[in-house]
Amino acid sequence: MCVCVCVCVCVCVCVCVCVCVCVCVCVHFYLNCNNMKYMRSPPTPEMATQEVPLNETLAHLKTESETLKSKLEEERAKLHDVELHQVAEKVEGLGQFVMKTRRTLKGHGNKVLCMDWCKDKRRIVSSSQDGKVIVWDAFTTNKEHAVTMPCTWVMACAYAPSGCAVACGGLDNKCSVYPLSLDKNENLAAKKKSVAMHTNYLSACSFTNSDMQILTSSGDGTCALWDVESGQLLQSFHGHAADVLCLDLAPSETGNTFVSGGCDKKANVWDMRSGQCIQSFETHESDINSVRYYPSGDAFASGSDDATCRLYDLRADREVAIYSKDSIIFGVSSVDFSLSGRLLFGGYNDYTINVWDVLKGTRVSILFGHENRVSTLRVSPDGTAFCTGSWDHTLRIWA
Amino acid sequence: MSGSTNVVAMKKVVQQLRLEAGINRVKLASTISQPQVSQAAADLQQFCLQNAQQDPLLTGMSSSNNPFRPQKVCSFL
């Protein structure tokens, strides 16, 4: 769609003489349509005659895609013999769980949107809608650092593996890295380094195995790998047809892949070196808000606005379990596994946390405490506790 | 103007579909040799059971070990 705006500026030079300057500005906007990537590229002078053969190619490819998909389903149906919970029937059931809020971290002035644990198992970084990023000591609940971002809605934050820096971003379309100093009086904002640049909001970020590289996902439909020192784009990942909302890196033993989930209901697994999408799963019925790898790296779980969590096995290349109940109608905002992968924790928009038995597919426990929707949930690196952040401005540590 | 937009957008959709078709062909070719769901599920189960003892949230750590649980109160005898 093209919108033409005519601006007329009248300039009075002297008392009797009026000079009219008419400035005609033609502004082109590219609107977002369903199932199309929205990257702002300048219009190329294409001839209208190219449309006809392209239409044919499009139709041909669509039919080919559909036939391939239906053939795949047929073949898969032949192989599909049993579900995960059937295999796990003989496994002992889990007993009652007593998990309570052990710490409440108060200090944010608005909704907590994201949090991450430090590898030292006690520090936490959290970010909120009011633009503040706070580093906490979870044992003592003291605040160690606080940074004010120049934008609101800081939707992503991550702790560096070394524990010496944090990365965060949101509506500013950037991911910035702040080195943490031991000197509490030092102004952290002065040392800020802008690393990633996207054309839409930053939805998630994560350091790779070192402090030197960051993986980001954005509302512009792409994920990208950046070098922290130079700010250079190392690899970009195209394939989602809408906003990418979450990502998770494979556990280090299994190599250079990561999974991303988006508003197009797809979860894609990517090869970090080639930038190719190596696997794709589309069984959710709504936006995928969170993805998390199973501790062995052979599977991953996803949480979606359709109120279900699902487990996808990478080697079987299909969904192997659904975690849902008729009584749960609110979307899942974030998921994480316990250390052994037996428990799946899900933070829901109905203010609760549901704990699922991964193997049997049943709900083990439901936790209450937050006074607004749970927006983020992470298990600590040593598995002794998990932390949740919520729109009620607090974070809670559960154990 | 809208013509060129359509062509550019359609080219992107075509590219996307080609990518997907490529992936789907590879998937179809390898489907026969894929491990079955039961095998993959058995592997997941085995991983869970092997690591169950090292999972504090699963086994429930005692107050003395878990830094987040409150310490038991000492009493004078």
Task: Give how far Cα A388 sits from Cα of A295, A353, A374, Å.
Answer: 19, 9, 7
Mean pLDDT by 10 residues, chain A (399 residues): 41 42 36 37 47 78 79 68 78 85 94 96 95 94 92 94 94 93 72 91 94 95 95 94 96 84 96 93 96 94 96 90 95 96 96 95 94 96 94 95
The reply to whether A53 touches chain B by the CB within 8 Å rule is no
Q: Which residues have C-beta within 8 Å of that of residue B6, sequence separation ≥ 6?
A: A51
d(CA A30, CA A36): 11
- pLDDT band of B27, cuts 50, 70, 90: low
Q: Does A90 touch chain B (CB under 8 A)?
A: no
Q: Mind telling me how many Å the CA of A250 is from chain B's nearest CA? A: 16
When pLDDT is cut at 50, 70 and 90, the band that residue B2 belongs to is low
Measured in angstroms, the CA of B76 and the nearest CA of chain A are apart by: 26
Of A46, A80, A384, the CB nearest to B4: A46
- Alpha carbon distance A349, A106 (integer Å): 20
CA distance A234 to B50: 38
CA distance A226 to A20: 50
**What value of ipTM does the predicted structure carry?**
0.74
> CB of A72 within 8 Å of any CB in chain B?
yes
Cβ–Cβ < 8 Å for A57, B14: yes
Q: Which of A79, A313, A397 sits opposite B31 (nearest CB)?
A: A79
* Chain A CB contacts of B57 below 8 Å: 99, 338-339, 343, 379, 383-386, 399
Nearest to A126 by CA among A100, A144, A151: A144
Whether A81 sits inside 8 A of B36 (CB atoms) is yes
B30-75: pLDDT as tens digits = 555 555 677 888 899 999 999 998 888 888 776 667 788 776 556 6
Provide the pLDDT for residue A85.
83
Residue A377 to residues A116, A280, A354, A374, A390: CA-CA distances in angstroms? 9, 24, 11, 8, 9
Nearest to A298 among B43, B52, B68 (CB): B43
Residue of B4, B8, B57, B69 to mutate when probing chain A, most A C-beta within 10 A: B57
Cross-chain residue pair B41–A84, CB shorter than 8 Å: yes
Q: Which residues of chain A make contact with B29, given a CB cutoff of 8 A? A: none
In chain B, whose CA is at the least distance from the CA of A35? B13
DSSP string, A264-314: TS-EEEEETTT--EEEEE---SS-EEEEEE-TTSSEEEEEETTS-EEEEET
**Does B52 sit within 8 Å of A1, measured CB to CB?**
no
pLDDT digits (tens, 9 = 90+) for A240-250: 999 999 999 99
Cα distances (Å, whole numbers) of residue A347 to A100, A181, A201: 15, 32, 22
Q: Is A382 in the B-facing interface, judged by CB distances under 8 Å?
A: yes
SS3 breakdown of chain A: % helix, strand, coil, rounded to 5?
10, 45, 45
| Residue whose structure tokens are 């839409």 | A200
Q: Does A299 touch chain B (CB under 8 A)?
A: yes
**Which residues 239-278 of A are in CB contact (within 8 Å) with B?**
239, 241, 277-278
For A204-216, the pLDDT digits (tens) are: 999 998 899 999 9
User: Counting Cβ atoms within 10 Å, is residue A198 exposed (0-12), middle (13-18) or buried (19+)?
Assistant: buried
Residue A102 near chain B (CB below 8 Å): yes
